[in-house]
Structure 1
Amino acid sequence: MKSFNSIQTNLRYIWPYIWRYRKWSALVILFVLLKELSVLGEPLIYRQVILVFESLFALEITHDLAIQKTIFLIIGFVCLQGLVIVSNGLMLHFTNRLDASAMRDGANDFVGKVLNLSFRFHSERKTGKLAKEFARGVNGIEAFLDAFVFNLIPLLIRLTVIFIVYVVIEWRIALVLLVQAIVFCVFTIIASIKMQHRRDTANSFDDEGSRKAMDALMNAEVVKYFHQEQEEIKSFKKTRQVWKDNKQYEWDGWKWVSSGQILINVSSVVILLMIAIPLLISGDMGLANFVLVISYLGYLVGILWDFQHHVRRLQEALTDLTAFFSYFGKENEISDAASAKTLEVKQGLIRFEQVQFAYQGSSGVFEDLSFTVPAGKSVALVGPSGVGKSTIIKMLYRFYEPTGGYITIDGQNINEVTQQSLRQQLSIVPQETALFNETVAYNIAYGTKAVTREQIETAAREAHADELIANLPQGYDTLVGERGVKLSGGEKQRIAIARAFLRDAPILVLDEATSSLDSASEAEIQLALKGLMNGRTTLIIAHRLSTIMSADLIIVLSDGGIVQQGTHEELLEHGGLYQKLWELQAGGYIE
Structure 2
Amino acid sequence: MSPRLLIATDQKGDWRVARRLLPYLWKYRYRIGVALMFLVLARVANVSVPLVLKNIVDHFTEGGNLVLIVPMALLIAYGVLRFSAILFNEMRNVAFSRAGVAIIHHISMVVFKHLHNLSLGFHLDRKTGGLSRDMERGNMAVTNFLRIIVFNIIPVAIEIALVLYILWLQLNIRFVLITVLMIVIYCVFTFMITRWRTRFRVQMNDSDSSANTRVLDSLLNYETVKVFGNERLEMERYGDSLNGWVSASLKNNLSLSYLNAGQGFIIAVGLAVLMILAANGVVDKTLSLGDFVMINAFLIQLYIPLNFLGSVYRDLNHSLVDMEKMFDLMDERPKIVERDNASVLKFKKGQIRFENINFAYQADNPILKNINFEVAGGGMLALVGPSGSGKSTLARLLLRFYDPDSGAIYIDDQDIKSLTLESLRQIMGVVPQDTVLFNETVGYNIAYGRPGVSDPEIVEAAKIAQIHDFISQHPQGYDILVGERGLKLSGGEKQRVAIARVAVKGARILIFDEATSSLDSRSEKAIQQALENVSINNTTLIVAHRLSTVINADEIIVLDKGEIVERGTHQSLVAGGRLYSQMWALQQQHG
Question: TM-score of the superposition, structure 1-length normalised?
Answer: 0.96
Alpha-carbon shift at residue 4 of structure 1 (Å): 6.5
What is residue 581 of structure 1 aligned with on the other side? 583
Partners of 2:67 and 2:77 lie apart in 1 by: 18
Which among 341, 348, 352 is matched to residue 339 of structure 1? 341
Matched, 1:24 2:26: no
The Cα RMSD (Å) is 1.6
Matching of residues 197-236 of structure 1 within 5 Å: 197-236=199-238
Amino acid of the structure 2 residue aligned with 1:317 = S
Per the alignment, do residues 525 and 587 of structure 1 end up closer, same or farther by CA in structure 2, a change over 3 Å counting? farther
The alpha carbon displacement at 1:329 in A equals 1.1
Q: Deviations over 1:323-374 (max 9, x none)?
A: 1111111111111000100011111110100011011253211121111111
- Secondary structure of 2:331's partner? coil
**2:5 match:** none
The answer (yes or no) to whether the contact 1:43–1:296 under 8 Å persists in 2 is yes
Paired residues for 1:320-469 under 5 Å: 320-469=322-471
In the alignment, which residue of structure 1 is the partner of 2:3? none
**Number of the residue aligned with 1:120:** 121
Rounded Cα–Cα distance in structure 1 between residues aligned with 2:543 and 2:134: 37
Stretch deviating more after TM superposition (467-476 or 111-120): 467-476
For 1:205 and 1:471, the matched residues in 2 are separated by 48
Match of 1:129 in 2: 130
Contact 1:437 1:479 in 2 (8 A): yes
Once the two structures are TM-superposed, the CA of residue 584 in structure 1 deviates from its matched residue by 1.4
| Local SS of the residue matching 2:367 | strand
- Structure 1 pair 516/193, CA: closer, same or farther in 2 (3 Å)? same
- Give the Å deviation of 1:523: 2.7
Contact 1:99–1:141 (Cα < 8 Å) also in 2: no
List per-residue Cα deviations over 1:176-231 (Å, max 9, x = no partner).
10011111111111111101111101110101101111111000100001100011
Give the Cα–Cα distance (whole angstroms) in 1 for the partners of residues 448 and 68 of structure 2: 81
Query: For each residue in 1:378-415, what CA deviation from the matched residue of structure 2 results, as whole angstroms up to 9, or x when unmatched?
Result: 00000000011010000000000000011000010000
**Residue 431 of structure 2 contacts residue 498 of structure 2 at CA under 8 Å; is this kept in 1?**
yes
1:141 partner letter: V
Matched with 1:9 is: 16
CA distance in 1, matches of 2:566, 2:239: 53
Which structure 2 residues correspond to residues 109-258 of structure 1 after superposition, within 5 A?
109-168=110-169, 169-258=171-260
1:36 paired to 2:43: yes
Question: Which amino acid is the alignment partner of residue 406 of structure 2?
Answer: G
Q: Which SS does the other structure have where 2:439 is aligned?
A: coil
Q: Which amino acid aligns with 1:250?
A: N
How far has the Cα of 1:17 moved from its partner?
A: 2.1
Q: CA deviation at 1:243?
A: 0.2
* 442-451 or 347-356, larger mean C-alpha shift: 442-451
Deviation at 1:293, TM superposition (A): 1.2
Structure 1 outlier segments of 4+, above 6 Å: none
Tell me, what secondary structure is at the counterpart of 1:441? helix
Q: 1:547 aligns with which of 546, 549, 557?
A: 549
Contact 2:34 2:92 in 1 (8 A): yes
Q: Is the 8 A contact 2:449 2:504 kept in 1?
A: no
Task: Note if 1:94 corresponds to 2:83.
Answer: no
Partners of 2:66 and 2:335 in 1: CA distance: 83
Cα contact 2:435–2:495 (8 A) shared by 1: yes
* Pairing partner for 1:66 from 69, 83, 88: 69
Gaps of 5+ in 2: 1-7
User: Once the two structures are superposed, what CA deviation does each residue of 1:397-446 show, in whole Å capped at 9, x if it has no partner?
Assistant: 00000000110000100001011100001111111101001110110111
SS at match of 2:355: strand
How far apart are the structure 2 equivalents of 1:376 and 1:492?
26
Equivalent residue letter for 2:19: R
CA–CA distance in 1 between the matches of 2:452 and 2:67? 81
Q: Structure 1: any 5+ residue segments left out of the alignment?
A: none
* Equivalent residue runs for 1:294-313 within 5 Å: 294-313=296-315
Q: Secondary structure at the match of 1:130?
A: helix
Secondary structure in structure 2 of the residue aligned to 1:586: helix
Counterparts of 1:513 and 1:177, CA distance in 2? 75
How far 1:307 moved relative to its partner?
0.3
Provide the secondary structure at the position in 2 that maps to 1:400: coil
Structure 2 letter corresponding to 1:303: P
Contact 2:60-2:66 at 8 Å conserved across structures: no
Alignment partners' CA distance in 2, 1:497 and 1:558? 29
Aligned residues: 583
